[in-house]
């Protein structure tokens, strides 16, 4: 250290008094800090709605059976759900059941395949898995594999039926098993619970394809029997089945599989032994939504209008006049014996056929296959009937 007496020494630190404005700022900052640390949590933004199938997938992680509340009251009550759970668990197979109502415009657009695909994706991607047993969020390690999956769902086209889906292949023949159950005579009026239970049984046996082929053979034999009864009706008078078929079928759709024509006919024949012809099940389901009385009045008016147009047509300039007259006669016969919405829809199809014949329309498109009440089809599409792959 220097001993120079003339060296200036360090001055003591200067202390400046805190003015009124500085004190106010200090108090304000302290108050804000206190508010920030003591205030409750900031309100979060409303949660986004769950993705389609998320709730179903979460439920399936706890139970192999998911039933929509609208079905739980009667079609599949809680007691039956428990029975299905026990039955599925006893098989040791990766079977899951999803029974929910399907309709056009819903999250799955009323399509069973879409529903099944969405549920499978939700199960597989793990986005909605439940936490693990120790409370940790689920990870790919915690989650059970869903690569092997057998899924039984409701059918969008036939609400009282079920569909089978299977991944990655068809080792358990789930699709055929569900289709076979839908063709069994003894299960015609069965509940969704009974249909599901029988499908699980067939899947467990592993003979779904054999069962399906057996049921189809029975329907083919039933078709032959219905053909005999049609012949007897022809002997009693009235238009023959070939005549009606030649006019009605082109107006409805392309050729339908005989097995499913028979199934439609059998259900309708239960109420009438003299039903004139059978419409496909898809038409049955769609037509029931219409009002029968109003449709009957419309059909009567359409038949009368076709008759007047045919009588006014010039035989020399209307090559299709005879075809129109045949359609008019067939439509009148069907209308006279119509006992429900399907028959009335057939009347409208015959009337359309007659009008096309009078107008000479080349290769006209038929009426909407799934519901003739929609009017003429806009374009042809490929459609596979339930239970068929060809």
When comparing pLDDT for 261 and 104, which is higher? 104
Q: For residue range 244-269, list pLDDT tens digits in order.
A: 444 444 444 443 444 444 444 444 33
pLDDT for residue 138 is more than 50: no
Looking at the domain assignment, is residue 76 inside a domain?
yes
- Do 177 and 263 belong together in one domain? no
- Give me the CATH number covering residue 119: 3.10.310.50
Which pLDDT does position 86 carry in this prediction? 96
Tell me whether residue 49 is in a domain: no
Same domain, 252 and 362: yes
Segment 282-328, tens digit of pLDDT: 444 444 444 677 788 888 888 999 988 888 888 888 888 898 899 99
Residue 42's CB: how many other CB atoms inside 10 A?
6
Name the nearest CA neighbour of 386 among 247, 233, 216, 201.
Answer: 216
190 and 229 inside one domain:
no
Distance between CA atoms of 300 and 111, rounded to whole angstroms?
Answer: 35
Question: Measured in whole angstroms, how far is the alpha carbon of residue 64 from the centre of its chain?
Answer: 20
Please count the other Cβ atoms lying within 10 Å of the Cβ belonging to residue 8.
6
Q: What is the domain count for the chain? A: 2
**Residues 201, 290 within the same domain:** no
Predicted pLDDT at 317: 86
Q: Report the alpha-carbon distance of residue 352 to residue 357 in Å, rounded.
A: 9
pLDDT at position 49 over 70? no
- Cα separation, 281 vs 375, in Å, equals 18
Query: Is 12 inside any structural domain?
Result: no
61 lies in the same domain as 139: yes
Q: Are residues 286 and 202 located together in one domain of the fold?
A: no
Residues 66 and 129 in one domain: yes
Evaluate if residue 370 carries a pLDDT over 60: yes
Query: Helix, strand, coil proportions of the chain in percent (round to 5)?
Result: 50, 5, 40
Does 120 map to a domain? yes
Whether the full predicted model's pTM is greater than 0.75, yes or no, is no
Q: What is the pLDDT of residue 217?
A: 87
Looking at per-residue pLDDT, the higher value among 45 and 112 belongs to 112
Residue 10 placed within a domain: no
Cα pseudo-dihedral 336, 339, 345, 350, rounded to 10: -30
> Of the given ranges (17-21, 160-164, 297-301), which has the lowest mean pLDDT?
17-21
pLDDT category at 366 given cuts 50, 70, 90 is confident
Model pLDDT, residue 280: 46
Looking at residues 129-134, what average pLDDT do you find? 47
In a shared domain, residues 229 and 178: no
Residue 46 predicted with pLDDT over 50: yes
Query: Which stretch of 106-120, 176-190, 249-263, 287-301 has the lowest confidence by average pLDDT?
Result: 249-263
* In a shared domain, residues 147 and 241: no
- pLDDT value of position 385: 60
- Residue 192's pLDDT is 92
The CA-atom distances, in angstroms, between 162 and each of 103, 134, 383 are 14, 37, 18
Dihedral angle over CA of 305, 311, 317, 318, nearest 10: 50
DSSP state of 96: E
**Contacts with 250 (C-beta within 8 Å, 6 or more apart), sequence order:** 353, 366
E strand spans, the chain: 65-67, 95-99, 149-154, 162-167
Same domain? For 251 and 190 the reply is no
- Note down the domain range covering 292: 225-374
Alpha-carbon distance of 152 to 97, in angstroms, equals 5
Q: Is residue 17 part of a domain?
A: no
119 and 59 assigned to the same domain: yes
**Residues 59 and 202 occupy one common structural domain:** yes
């Amino acid at each position: 250290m220097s001993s120079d007496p003339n060296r200036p020494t360090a001055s003591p630190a200067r202390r400046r008094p805190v003015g009124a404005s500085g004190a106010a700022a200090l108090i304000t900052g302290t108050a804000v800090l206190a508010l920030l640390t003591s205030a409750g949590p900031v309100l979060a933004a409303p949660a986004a709605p769950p993705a389609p199938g998320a709730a179903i997938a979460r439920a399936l992680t706890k139970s192999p059976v998911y039933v929509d509340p609208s079905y739980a009251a009667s079609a599949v009550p809680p007691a039956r759900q428990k029975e299905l759970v026990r039955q599925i668990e006893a098989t040791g197979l990766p079977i899951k059941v999803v029974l929910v109502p399907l309709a056009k415009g819903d999250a799955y657009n009323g399509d069973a395949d879409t529903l099944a695909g969405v549920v499978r994706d939700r199960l597989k991607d793990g986005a909605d898995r439940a936490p693990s047993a120790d409370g940790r969020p689920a990870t790919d390690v915690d989650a059970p594999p869903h690569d092997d999956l057998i899924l039984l769902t409701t059918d969008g086209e036939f609400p009282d039926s079920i569909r089978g889906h299977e991944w990655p292949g068809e080792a358990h023949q789930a699709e055929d098993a569900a289709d076979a159950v839908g063709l069994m005579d003894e299960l015609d009026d069965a509940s969704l619970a009974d249909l599901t239970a029988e499908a699980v049984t067939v899947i467990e046996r592993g003979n779904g394809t054999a069962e399906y082929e057996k049921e189809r053979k029975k329907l083919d034999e039933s078709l032959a029997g219905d053909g005999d009864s049609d012949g007897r009706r022809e002997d009693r008078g009235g238009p023959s089945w070939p005549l009606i078929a030649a006019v009605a079928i082109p107006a409805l759709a392309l050729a339908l599989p005989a097995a499913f024509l028979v199934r439609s006919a059998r259900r309708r024949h239960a109420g009438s032994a003299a039903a004139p012809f059978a419409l496909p099940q898809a038409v049955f389901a769609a037509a029931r939504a219409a009002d029968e009385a109003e449709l009957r009045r419309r059909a009567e008016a359409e038949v009368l209008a076709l008759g007047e147009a045919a009588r006014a047509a010039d035989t020399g300039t209307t090559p299709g006049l005879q075809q129109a007259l045949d359609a008019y006669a067939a439509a009148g016969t069907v209308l006279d014996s119509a006992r429900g919405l399907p028959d009335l829809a057939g009347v409208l199809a015959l009337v359309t056929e007659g009008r096309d014949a009078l107008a000479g329309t080349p290769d006209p498109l038929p009426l909407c296959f799934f519901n003739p009440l929609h009017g003429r089809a806009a374009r042809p599409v490929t459609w596979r009937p339930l239970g068929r792959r060809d």
